[in-house]
């Protein structure tokens, strides 16, 4: 399969998932896809929504949405989700959908404020930033430890392994959501992820 993405961006979340379960893939770097140009055209040719991650499967089908990709991979491999029927699996589903329905959109709007609020971009950045911090504070309370859902990592940890570098950033997590930071750093240290961490310039400490 081919993964269209950009180092350190949402495609890195899917790279972490793929590496964790050992699915081979080719990475198509579309750096600069969020402005008009060759990279954007290349991405739009397979995904008119022009977002990463975009996965083109071996049968030519296009799969987008990190949560859909996580669930699809979890159907094929152990290690990305708790066993169906368990309380942990229910919590997993809740938090997976919660992240993409709440945290991720705060970037969709906050990263491109002029697109959504051309007359008040700074206010939109401030509002989405404050909302995101509130969301992460809530998520911090859900962490079982050492990983998000307990002793085993799951796809939720793949998100946080990448997202701790996004706003509000590691220092904020250290002060306000330390258990999330610990879980994310633990995930980053998984030897199966070494190459993905390096290529996405995600520090392992």
Ligand X SMILES: N[C@@H](CCC(=O)N[C@@H](CS)C(=O)NCC(=O)O)C(=O)O
Residues that bind ligand X (CB under 6 A): 9-10, 34, 50-53, 64-67, 100, 104, 108
Nearer to ligand X, 145 or 169 (CB): 169
Q: What are the tokens at 191? A: 């030897």
Nearer to ligand X, 115 or 134 (CB): 115
Nearest CA to 149 out of 85, 102, 82, 97 is that of: 82
Number of residue whose CB is nearest ligand X = 10
Nearer to ligand X, 51 or 152 (CB): 51
Nearest CA to 72 out of 18, 149, 10, 150 is that of: 18
Q: How far is the CB of 160 from ligand X (least distance, A)?
A: 14
Q: How far is the CB of 149 from ligand X (least distance, A)?
A: 19
Q: Look up tokens 């950045």; give the residue.
A: 125
Cα within 13 Å of Cα(122), Cβ side: 0
Q: How many helices (H) and strands (E) does the chain have?
A: 11, 4
Nearer to ligand X, 65 or 190 (CB): 65
């Amino acid at each position: 399969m081919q993964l269209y993405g950009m180092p350190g961006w949402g495609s890195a979340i899917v790279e972490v998932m793929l590496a964790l379960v050992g699915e081979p893939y080719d990475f198509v770097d579309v750096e600069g896809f969020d402005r008009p140009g060759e990279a954007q055209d290349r991405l739009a040719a397979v995904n008119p929504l022009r977002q990463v991650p975009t996965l083109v499967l071996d049968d030519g089908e296009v799969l987008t949405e990190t949560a859909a990709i996580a669930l699809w991979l979890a159907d094929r491999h152990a290690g990305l989700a708790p066993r169906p029927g368990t309380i942990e699996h229910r919590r997993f589903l809740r938090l997976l959908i919660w992240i993409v329905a709440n945290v991720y959109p705060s970037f969709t709007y906050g990263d491109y404020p002029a697109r959504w609020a051309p007359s008040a971009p700074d206010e939109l950045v401030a509002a989405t930033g404050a909302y995101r911090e509130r969301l992460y504070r809530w998520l911090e309370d859900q962490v079982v430890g050492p990983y998000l859902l307990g002793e085993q990592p799951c796809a939720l940890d793949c998100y946080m392994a990448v997202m701790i570098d996004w706003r509000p950033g590691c220092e904020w997590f250290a002060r306000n959501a330390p258990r999330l930071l610990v879980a994310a750093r633990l995930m980053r240290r998984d030897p199966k992820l070494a190459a993905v961490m390096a290529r996405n310039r995600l520090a392992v400490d």
